[in-house]
Each structure stands twice: as structure tokens, then as C-alpha cells.
Amino acid sequence: AAAGDLAISADTNGCSIEAAARLYFRLGERLSLALLANAAHKLPREGLWPSQAALAMQDELAALHADLLNSALRARGADPKCGSDETLARWGEPRKLALDRVDRLVKEDLSAAGAIDLAMLSVAAAELRTLV
């Protein structure tokens, strides 16, 4: 994440940049966002449209990660002692069914697929968006 994005998220949600950064990385780990970002970086870029589609997906995944961070920080509330694992638990509780779908899609379906294409990333991003 850009430092500015983390600073804005931290300020908006009343927490330190360090707490926001810890949660950002913990959330990315929980949702396998690095796998998706790496797949977006590997998308074919031959020609104008494929190149723009790949860049748009990279932008979408980055924006989605920031939106997920803000969603999780809102679930954290004003408790300054709330760590990233506890925050993720609070955030995830009302999203259990959606998290199960995302886990199945990302950790099972996409992992078994081998190469991840733009269509797969689009579906994954749409599923992740339901968590915001």
C-alpha cells in the first residue's frame, strides 16, 4: 500500500499508522491478496487492450485491499488495544459465509487452476468486494 493510503486509513479510523499497516498485511495474508496481485502482474500485455485490462485489474486489487482495510478498521472500533488478529475476528464474524466462499475460490479453485487469467481475477475481485 502507498504510505499515503495507510496514513489516510489510520487517520480516518482513529488508529496509528503502525496498527493500520499491521492489519493491512494481516488482511492480505488472510485473503491471499498477494497471490491475486502476482497473478495480475503476470497477465498478458500484448496489445493495447490486454495491457490496459491488466493494469486496470492491478488497480482494482490495490483499491480493493485499501477498501477491505477500511472495512476491517471500522470493525475494530475505538479500542486502541485491539490487535490485528482480534480485529480480523471481529470483522470476519458477520462475514463468515462470504469468507468461506472467498476461501474456497482463492485457496482451492484458483490454486488448483494453475495459471490465473483475467476472468478468474475478475470473479475473485467481485467475491472479495462482497466483504467490504
Question: What CA–CA distance (Å, rounded) separates 70 from 5?
Answer: 10
114: left (phi over 0), alpha (psi -120 to 50) or beta: left
**Structural domain boundaries in the chain:** 3-129
Q: Give me the percent of the chain exceeding a pLDDT of 90.
A: 82
Which of 127, 111, 104 lies closest to 39, judged by CA?
A: 111
Model confidence at 1: pLDDT above 70: no
Whether this prediction's pTM lies above 0.75 is answered by yes
Contact between 69 and 2 under an 8 Å Cβ cutoff? The reply is no
Model confidence at 81: pLDDT above 80: no
Contact between 65 and 24 under an 8 Å Cβ cutoff? The reply is yes
